[in-house]
């Protein structure tokens, strides 16, 4: 049976996948700066003898393996950028790059996809259809790498696209997805409060940007709780508040940045307008001014129902999978959304919790159970075979 042979190859390749992941973890690169990582990926396909293209949409690498038997053309995607975080783990594979770390599992995604490529190459003559390996740069920072890759047209002829995220919040052996909305659209906003600075002992002669900004932060929290339909799902978060230079000086300006997460375009537009109303009202009341920019980021990840159910069904063929479930959507964002706007497919989480060392994604002590790469690889391969 084809799937059994592929699974056996993945088992054989596990230590190789771990070595690949740890090498990448030691040598992380930030979004849009992943030249060495892209070269490493391209060199791997060169050594395997799998045709590939580099510099796809930027630093992307896309390889194509045509099987010896007829079938559909399926794309599998993995991202490979890191984050601007100083790693705090004390491990042999700790990042060697100051203030840069794979704190989201993208090193594991890349190692998993390369493992799949090696297993598939070994069984190429027996393989049905065609596998397209999409190694994507710059997922962490909008506008991201997915859309530029799609815009090249390199995926125009694929029948479907699938991807997974190693998910440290979920136990090992768990596969999670959703039939439709799975991850939220992720936007950001930038606000500047324009007041009038002055002496800390004479606040009546100033327009205190710290005070005005604080009122804005508080009022923004009322958009979701008091302006949206309670059945709508959204998040408005202020992430930074920068103002002032001295303890005895009233700040004349303040800068706020934040994120908005939604699943519905109408809700997104409402929040965008409500933020403006808050700014107009509070700054007018305080005789101050403002500037406001709303930057639309990744759209929501909306799975295709048939493909999402196929993932869950395919996961049943993987003995390491103990639970394969449909779950409620999460408010985190992903530019995998763009692939699903163009092709049928589904995105899913592969449980990767390291129970004796649990820290969330984007934490300086983030790590994951490397055995999750086996689960991810086998579930993706099972999905690929099931789609033929």
DSSP 8-state secondary structure symbol assigned to residue 225 = I
Find the domain containing 94 and state its range. 2-183+300-387
What is the number of other CB atoms lying within 10 angstroms of the CB of residue 94? 13
Q: How many domains does the chain have?
A: 2
| Whole-number pLDDT of residue 125 | 98
Which strand (E) or helix (H) includes residue 107?
A: helix 106-122
How many residues belong to the chain? 388
Give the separation between CA 267 and CA 188, rounded to whole angstroms: 15
Q: Which residues are catalytic?
A: 81, 139
Q: Which of 257, 275, 298 is the last residue of a domain?
A: 298
Do residues 350 and 310 both lie within one domain?
yes
106 is an annotated ligand-binding site residue? yes
Query: What are the respective helix, strand and coil percentages of the chain, to the nearest 5?
Result: 35, 30, 35
Residue 165 assigned as binding residue = yes
* Pair 191, 108 in one domain: no
**Together in a domain, 140 and 13:** yes
Judgement on whether residues 144 and 45 belong to the same structural domain of the protein: yes
The torsion angles phi and psi of 324, rounded to 5 degrees, stand at: -130, 110
Q: At residue 184, does pLDDT exceed 90?
A: yes
Determine the average pLDDT of the residues in 188-194: 98
Closest CA to 175 of 334, 358, 348, 383: 348
19-67 confidence digits (pLDDT tens):
999 999 999 999 999 999 999 999 999 999 999 999 999 999 999 999 9
In this structure, the dihedral spanned by the alpha carbons of residues 109, 304, 345 and 171, taken in order and rounded to 10 degrees, is 20
Close Cβ partners of 51 (under 8 Å, ≥ 6 residues apart): 45, 63, 64, 65
Report how far Cα 196 is from the mean position of its chain's Cα atoms: 40
Question: Per-residue pLDDT tens for 60-80?
Answer: 999 999 999 999 999 999 999
89 and 233 share one domain: no
Of the residues 298, 332, 350, which one is the last residue of a structural domain? 298
104 is in an annotated binding site: yes
No. of H helices and E strands in the chain? Answer: 10, 16
- Asked if 258 and 312 sit in the same domain, the reply is no
Residue 84 shares a structural domain with residue 179: yes
Is 65:121 a contact under the CB 8 Å cutoff? yes
Q: Are residues 29 and 140 in the same domain?
A: yes
CA angle 170, 308, 75 (to 5 degrees): 100
304 is in an annotated binding site: no
Check whether residue 47 and residue 161 sit in a common domain. yes
Do 148 and 211 lie in a common domain?
Answer: no
Strands 60-66 and 52-56: what pairing? antiparallel
Residues 173 and 192 in one domain: no
Q: Tell whether the model's pLDDT for residue 370 goes beyond 90.
A: yes
Domain end call among 245, 276, 298: 298
Average pLDDT over residues 232-240: 97
Q: Say yes or no to pLDDT of 1 above 90.
A: no
Q: 303 falls in which pLDDT band (50, 70, 90)?
A: very high
Tens-place pLDDT, residues 328-340: 999 999 999 999 9
| Mean pLDDT on 298-313 | 98
Q: Are residues 335 and 199 in the same domain?
A: no
CA-CA distance, 212 to 193, in Å (whole number)?
7
Q: What is the CATH number of the domain that holds 97?
A: 3.40.630.10
Overall pTM surpassing 0.85 (yes/no): yes
- pLDDT at position 166 over 90: yes
- Residue 68, judged by CB atoms within 10 A of its CB (0-12, 13-18, 19+), counts as exposed
- Cα-based distances in Å from 51 to 46, 54, 66, 231: 7, 10, 10, 49
The enclosing domain of 263 has a CATH number of 3.30.70.360
């Amino acid at each position: 049976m084809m799937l059994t042979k592929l699974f056996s190859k993945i088992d054989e390749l596990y230590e190789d996948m771990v070595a690949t992941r740890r090498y990448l973890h030691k040598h992380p690169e930030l979004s849009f700066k992943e030249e060495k990582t892209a070269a490493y990926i391209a060199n791997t396909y060169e050594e395997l003898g799998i045709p590939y293209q580099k510099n796809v949409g930027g630093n992307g690498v896309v390889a194509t393996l045509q099987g010896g038997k007829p079938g559909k053309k399926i794309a599998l995607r993995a991202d490979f950028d890191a984050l601007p975080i100083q790693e705090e783990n004390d491990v042999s594979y700790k990042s060697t790059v100051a203030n840069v770390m794979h704190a989201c599992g993208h090193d594991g995604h890349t190692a998993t996809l390369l493992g799949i490529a090696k297993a598939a190459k070994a069984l190429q003559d027996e393989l049905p259809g065609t596998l397209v390996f999409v190694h994507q740069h710059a997922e962490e920072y909008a506008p991201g790498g997915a859309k530029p890759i799609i815009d090249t047209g390199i995926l125009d002829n694929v029948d479907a696209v699938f991807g997974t995220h190693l998910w440290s919040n979920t136990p090992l052996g768990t596969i999670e997805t959703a039939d439709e909305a799975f991850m939220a659209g992720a936007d950001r906003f930038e606000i500047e409060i324009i007041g009038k600075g002055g002496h800390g002992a004479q606040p009546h002669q100033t327009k205190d940007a710290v005070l005005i900004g604080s009122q804005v932060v508080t009022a923004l929290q009322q958009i979701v709780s008091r302006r949206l339909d309670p059945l709508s799902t959204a998040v408005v978060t202020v992430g930074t508040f920068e103002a002032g230079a001295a303890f005895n000086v009233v700040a004349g300006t303040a800068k706020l940045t934040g994120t908005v997460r939604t699943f519905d375009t109408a809700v997104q537009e409402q929040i965008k307008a409500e933020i403006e109303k808050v700014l107009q009202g509070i700054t007018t009341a305080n005789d101050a001014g403002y500037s406001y920019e709303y930057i639309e980021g990744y759209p929501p990840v909306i799975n295709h129902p048939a493909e999402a159910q196929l993932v869950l069904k395919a996961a049943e063929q993987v003995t390491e999978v103990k639970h394969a479930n449909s779950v409620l959507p999460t408010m985190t964002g992903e530019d995998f959304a763009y692939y699903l706007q163009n092709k049928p497919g589904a995105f899913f989480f592969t449980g990767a919790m390291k129970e004796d060392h649990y820290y969330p994604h984007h934490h300086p002590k983030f790590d994951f159970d490397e055995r999750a790469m086996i689960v991810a690889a086998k579930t993706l391969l099972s999905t690929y075979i099931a789609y033929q």
